[in-house]
Chain A
Amino acid sequence: MAEAVRPRGLLAVRLAPRRPAIAAAALVLAVMGLAAVAAPLLTPYDPIATDTAATALPPGSPGHPLGTDLLGRDLLAGLLYGGRTSLLVGLAAAAMTVVLGTLLGAAAAAGPRWLDSLIARAADMLLSLPMLIVTLALAAVAGPSLATVIVAVAVTSWMPVALIARAELRSQRERLYIRAAYGLGLSGAQVFRRHLLPGALPPVASIAAFEVGHAVLTESTLSFLGLGIPPNRPSWGNLLTETKAHLLTGEWYTVAYPAAAIVIVIIAVNVLANAVAPADGRAW
């Protein structure tokens, strides 16, 4: 099982975290999150409102610090509102992954044997498939929407969480202090919360953090391929799709903003995830 738990892709990139890096990552994420939440306060523009009198302005133009696109839409507004969508997808998908994974893991640990092996086989199968392909098929059937992206990410990423939750619950279940807790009359839910959850929390928290970055990446890839967030709703992936044509025609900055936002979020999240990961580095 330990083999199967190994996370894929960027999840496995590790940098020995140092304190200033952690602080910087946390600060960057906090600033980006705040900026996304406070987008209407930070820019007077509607991200999809065009302005035929102010098209294709370069960065540093008065009133448009990052410039405008060919239809006069403010690039800063797009970036801020796009951050709302992308970060929302990231957080929601991570939350859903953890909930789904914990539930399935708990079900596998506590449920009948056939359920345990069913969940384990399903996890094995999903782990052996590239998740983009599964996501692609899901998106094709369900049609592009915010919910599709979130669900697709969760459905293809719950396995590590489930395996950890299952292992943790199983190893703890038979311990004396757990039996003692039951003996003292605590309910199942209380035992779960007080004694079983804390052991599983650090590795799960680390996965959850990675998952935020992972979901941001998946959102952008799917939207870039036209299968993610519906068009005209700013997200970093959609901004990239719209602007990638300018890459070769001079307005490279229109591509650079959303691309940089995605890369920065993922790097910051990875730094944080490494910081909360179990110190022995056994799993990741």
Chain B
Amino acid sequence: MRFLAVRAATSLLVVAALSVLCFGLVSLAPGDPAAEILEARNGGRPVPAAAVAALRAEMGLDDPLPARYARWAGDALRGDFGVSYLTGRPVSETLADTVPWTLLLTGAATVLSVLGAVAVGLVAALTRRAWLRRGIETAMFVLGGMPGFVSALLLLYLFAAVWRVLPSGGLGRPGEPLTPGVVLTYLALPALALTFGHHFGTYVRLIQSGVGRLRDAPHVENARVRGLSRWTVTTRHLLRPGLVPFTARLGVGVGGLIAGAYATEVIFSWPGVGRQAIEAARSHDYPVLVAVVLVTGVVVVLANLLGELAVARLDPRIRRSPRG
């Protein structure tokens, strides 16, 4: 699988470039981290220059840039992302606490996206009722014009405020054990919001056009005439090839989902990494911000890779040409 090796190498390169970018961001950002830490402790009041200088030395901020990058990258490779400027807590601990929840949320949203889009897309592609197809198309178009956080607010309003069937946010009642049932209850709303707020219309459209193109193709007609069951025709002759453009798009879409999870997590107080990112961005807590960006970047690159792998499985032609 030469194709895979090339792709993996490219991905590694992207991650390396990303790390340089991240580190540059921290180093070139305005403001002195040492002063920020001390001022935060001192209620925002200025602190004596000597104290700042001492902390700078302690943090190794006076070393030349390449030396600092080497040290930072070495630590990061070992999973050590330094400590938060704000809380003094190791960033790796924060990541360990939050990243799994974000992955769960995006994972659930991806599953919902796939299932929902396949169902709706198939209906739209195969129905002979023009009004139904037209209706789905219009609904998906409107959904496409809706920012993710607007659909999240809408869902929050309906499910948590008007109907009160799902909790408005957070994860479980404090102190209660987190059983899978509890987790799913709290996961439902953010996962739905993430699903419908991001790319859902695109997915439906891709499946609709992918399958629609094949619906009246001779080999499919042939399969029907041969008396194969409707299920077999749909899954084997329509869905599998019809899914190719959709699957190719899904890899990129997952990246968008993870980014979209940021706002969703803020709205639903989901204890994921996105809330940390926003908080860190607002308070210039660069160690946290950089680690979050880096980890998210790696996950996204991985998702893209997986997406391409899936496409290759579905469509043998791709496997042979390295540049897609």
Contact = CB atoms under 8 A, between A and B. Distances in A.
Given A132-B260, A224-B263, 13 more contacts: A8-B199, A8-B256, A13-B202, A130-B260, A133-B277, A133-B297, A140-B281, A141-B28, A220-B147, A220-B149, A247-B157, A266-B145, A267-B144
**Which of A3, A137, A248 has most B Cβ within 10 Å?**
A137
Contacts of A226: 278, 282
B119 interface: no
Contact of B296 (A9, A133, A141, A240): A133
Interface in A1-47: 1-3, 6, 8-10, 12-15
30 contacts: A1-B323, A2-B324, A6-B252, A8-B199, A8-B253, A12-B205, A12-B206, A13-B144, A13-B145, A13-B201, A15-B137, A15-B138, A128-B14, A129-B255, A133-B293, A136-B278, A140-B29, A140-B281, A141-B29, A225-B262, A226-B278, A227-B282, A244-B153, A247-B157, A248-B160, A248-B168, A252-B157, A263-B150, A270-B144, A270-B145
Given A124-B14, A227-B282, A12 B202 contact: yes
B157 A128 contact: no
A15 B124 CA distance: 13
B266 interface: yes
Contacts of B282: 140, 226-227
Contacts of A262: 147, 150
A117 to B, nearest CB: 12
B249 interface: yes
Q: Interface of chain B, helix or strand or loop or mixed?
A: helix
Interface in A252-284: 252, 255, 259, 262-264, 266-267, 270
A101 to B, nearest CB: 19
Contact of A15 (B30, B141, B263, B304): B141
B217 interface: no
A255 B267 CA distance: 14
Size class of the contact patch on chain B? 35 or more
Contacts of A266: 144-147
Given A131-B259, A224-B263, A137 B153 contact: no
A270 B143 CA distance: 12
Contacts of B237: none
A130 B278 contact: no
A247 B300 contact: no
A9 B146 contact: no
B262 A132 contact: yes
Contacts of B300: 128-130
B161 A248 contact: yes
Interface string A132-169: 11001101110000000000000000000000000000
Contacts of B312: none
Nearest to B308: A3
Interface string B15-43: 00110001001001110000000000000
B93 to A, nearest CB: 21
Nearest to A216: B147
Given A3-B324, A221-B148, A13 B140 contact: yes
Given A8-B256, A130-B259, A225-B266, A139 B145 contact: no
A202 B216 CA distance: 32
A184 to B, nearest CB: 38
Size class of the contact patch on chain A? 35 or more
Contact of B145 (A1, A137, A213, A224): A213
Interface in A220-237: 220-221, 224-227
Contact of A130 (B14, B249, B258, B284): B258
A199 B200 CA distance: 32
A151 to B, nearest CB: 14
Contacts of A130: 255-256, 258-260, 296, 300
Contact of A259 (B153, B260, B280, B324): B153
B205 A217 contact: no
